[in-house]
Structure 1
Amino acid sequence: MNTLCLRRLQIFVAVVECGGFSAAARKLYMSQPSVSNQVRRLEASLQATLIDRSGARIRLTAKGETFLSYAQRLMPLVEEALIAVQLTVSSSEPRLRVATTNDAAAILVPSVLARLTARIPGLRWDIHTGGMEQVTQQLIDGVVGMALLDGEPTAPGLVIEPILSERLVLVVGGEHPLAGRQVTAEDVATKRLLLRESGSATRDLQNTALRRWNIQPVDKGEVWGNEALKLAVSAGLGASLMSWHCVAQEVRDGRLALVDLVPALPSHPIVMAHLLGRKFSCVEEAFAQLLFDLKE
């Protein structure tokens, strides 16, 4: 008897209901290649082709139609069972406590927490934000059970799980002279550069980039917080280096513009960290699983 992975069933149903792999990837907060790979692995486990990919739009095969009818009946029952189990234990579980650096918070926490609270109604949670050192110390002191960080902490006794790759991009206001242009690090050194406050994870990444380029901007400004920094950049007060996921919406809206930086900065990891040997609570385990789903 073939063993079926429920996660792959969920992905298959999403592909069909969304009308394609890309749309399903957006709905599931996954990459399109990961979605395609999971469906192929489901087909391999069934030894059957479920989706005809030969045309411009996906089509179900005859076996795919049959399998879909059963999968669509099964998935709501699985979701109901998961919620029932979570609700049974939630009253005795501690609240979810997570510490995170600001960029990791902006990139991961809203979507993952929304999915978790939908699965566990009434879930109590606390999200602590801060710089790398502050977040790491909260983890070590036991204030929180897990942490999300931009880059890997160096403190001993931690388990580090990579979740996503992130990169810094150079952004300016939509009317800035550099908007849409290609520039080098030397060009950046001659412009006003806005940086995050000292001690923040983003400032550490910005400083690392400046050291990598071996430059010192002639004119620098310091702004506290990502939202204030984006507002300052969009107002034309200077350029800044910020994480792509943090500014993606503003770039799409036209409030910020990318500058083609040559060479581009290398990516850095967004990681989940927890104390070695510490067992997750039920809600922490559920939160962690949703994070792991992002890197499939």
Structure 2
Amino acid sequence: MELQQMRYVVAVAETSNFTRAAEQCLVVQSALSHQIARLERELGAKLFDRTSRRVRLTPAGEAFLPAARQALDAAERARAEVAAVAGEIRGRLAIGAIPTVAAIDLPTTLKHFHLRHRQVRISLRSGASEELIERVRQGTLDIAFLGLPVGVRPKGVRGRELARGDLVAVVAPGHPLVDEDRVDLHQLSDEPFVDFPPGSAARAQSDEAFAAAAVRREVAFEVTTVDFMARLIRQGLGIGLLPAAFVSELPDLPVLQIRDAPARMEHLIWSRFPPSPAAAAFLSALGISSEPSGGQ
């Protein structure tokens, strides 16, 4: 069993197509097919069901794929560790971030890191905090930037708090409350809201604040991205609650300060296990020690 064969299996699984997988791996399709067939003979099981229309993993393929990915990651990590001894940072850096991260300028930070460490392949995944925590636990992300209600600490990872602040109400231009210096949750309770889905950390911080104020509200529009939220608000369909530190990204939308505002904390998390050279270098660039005494 060879690492190259595992790469071919992963490529076919990800593309669901032998031709595209061969192009991705920079080999001719016949060579890729031959190597996968060799691997299937060695394993004594078919990894793919192939028809003229589709390619999909067999049950044996489903079982093999996670182990193949782990083996490839381990080989890449080994090469990166050896290179680091010689002072070269290389390998993969997989980062996750909520859409409203505001504690740092993430695009600028990634640009500076890339210019300094050009041998590192950076990837970024945007998502909800709870999804990103699980991906860091599983090792598919090295580092993640989260937004959580005050007092909530992510489990099974190491990390640190980056910032905390209040949420503000974001409304359409011309909204009746736009001239108010400050409002409270009772004044907002009759408004339709645009918010994130139930069960998400972003939704929880708002729900908990309204519950604490003994105020009921209607969430008429549930969305997963800030861009879509802002588009609905611009049309006057509802109002939203967003971090005060983030709303400068939406300069065309009026912002209302809230007396009894929900609060949230931004966290940076990473794995409980020793970080890769690339992840350690990124944490160091942020002024954070990756040693166990520096996290949870």
TM-score between the two structures when normalised by the length of structure 1: 0.60
CA 1:134–1:249: 2 relative to 1, 3 Å? closer
Is 1:171 matched up with 2:170? Answer: yes
Q: Distance in 1 between matches of 2:142 and 2:185?
A: 40
Q: For the Cα contact (< 8 Å) 2:184–2:261, is it kept in 1?
A: no
Q: For the Cα contact (< 8 Å) 1:172–1:257, is it kept in 2?
A: yes
**How big is each residue's C-alpha offset from its partner over 1:38-73, in whole Å with a ceiling of 9 and x where there is no partner?**
xxxxxxxxxxxxxxxxxxxxxxxxxxxxxxxxxxxx
Q: CA deviation at 1:256?
A: 0.6
Q: Distance in 1 between matches of 2:85 and 2:163?
A: 27
Is 1:285 matched up with 2:280? Answer: yes
Secondary structure of the residue aligned to 2:215 is coil
Q: For the Cα contact (< 8 Å) 2:103–2:266, is it kept in 1?
A: no
Aligned length, in residue pairs: 202
Q: For the Cα contact (< 8 Å) 2:192–2:217, is it kept in 1?
A: yes
**How big is each residue's C-alpha offset from its partner over 1:52-111, in whole Å with a ceiling of 9 and x where there is no partner?**
xxxxxxxxxxxxxxxxxxxxxxxxxxxxxxxxx999513xx3211122233238964222
Is 1:271 matched up with 2:267? Answer: yes
Q: Distance in 2 between matches of 1:128 and 1:184?
A: 35
Q: CA deviation at 1:226?
A: 0.7
Q: For the Cα contact (< 8 Å) 1:103–1:202, is it kept in 2?
A: no
Tell me the residue number matched to 1:233: 233
Tell me the residue number matched to 1:210: 210
TM-score between the two structures when normalised by the length of structure 2: 0.60
Among candidates 92, 95, 100, match of residue 97 of structure 2: 100
Larger Rg: 2
Tell me the residue number matched to 2:156: 157
Q: CA deviation at 1:272?
A: 1.1
Q: For the Cα contact (< 8 Å) 1:131–1:199, is it kept in 2?
A: no
Q: CA deviation at 1:184?
A: 1.8
Segments ≥4 residues shifted beyond 6 Å:
none
**How big is each residue's C-alpha offset from its partner over 1:203-241, in whole Å with a ceiling of 9 and x where there is no partner?**
222222222222111463222311110121122221110
Q: For the Cα contact (< 8 Å) 1:101–1:129, is it kept in 2?
A: yes
Secondary structure of the residue aligned to 2:250 is helix
Secondary structure of the residue aligned to 1:89 is coil
Q: How is 1:105-116 mapped onto 2 (pairs within 5 angstroms)?
A: 108-116=105-113
Q: CA deviation at 1:186?
A: 1.0
Q: For the Cα contact (< 8 Å) 1:185–1:213, is it kept in 2?
A: yes
Unaligned ranges ≥5, structure 1: 1-84
Q: CA deviation at 1:258?
A: 1.1
Secondary structure of the residue aligned to 1:124 is strand
Q: CA deviation at 1:192?
A: 1.6
Q: Distance in 1 between matches of 2:144 and 2:261?
A: 28
Q: CA deviation at 1:282?
A: 2.7
Q: For the Cα contact (< 8 Å) 1:107–1:245, is it kept in 2?
A: no
Identity of aligned residues (%): 20
Q: How is 1:38-117 mapped onto 2 (pairs within 5 angstroms)?
A: 89-90=88-89, 93-104=90-101, 108-117=105-114
Which residue identity does 1:101 align to in structure 2? I
Which residue identity does 2:96 align to in structure 1? A
Q: Distance in 1 between matches of 2:102 and 2:236?
A: 26
Q: Distance in 2 between matches of 1:231 and 1:189?
A: 21
Tell me the residue number matched to 2:200: 200
Q: For the Cα contact (< 8 Å) 2:196–2:222, is it kept in 1?
A: yes
Q: For the Cα contact (< 8 Å) 1:160–1:274, is it kept in 2?
A: yes
CA 1:274–1:203: 2 relative to 1, 3 Å? same
Tell me the residue number matched to 2:259: 262
**How big is each residue's C-alpha offset from its partner over 1:152-190, in whole Å with a ceiling of 9 and x where there is no partner?**
765543222111223311111222111131322111111
Which residue identity does 1:215 align to in structure 2? V
Secondary structure of the residue aligned to 1:114 is helix
Q: Distance in 1 between matches of 2:177 and 2:93?
A: 43
Q: Distance in 1 between matches of 2:85 and 2:231?
A: 40
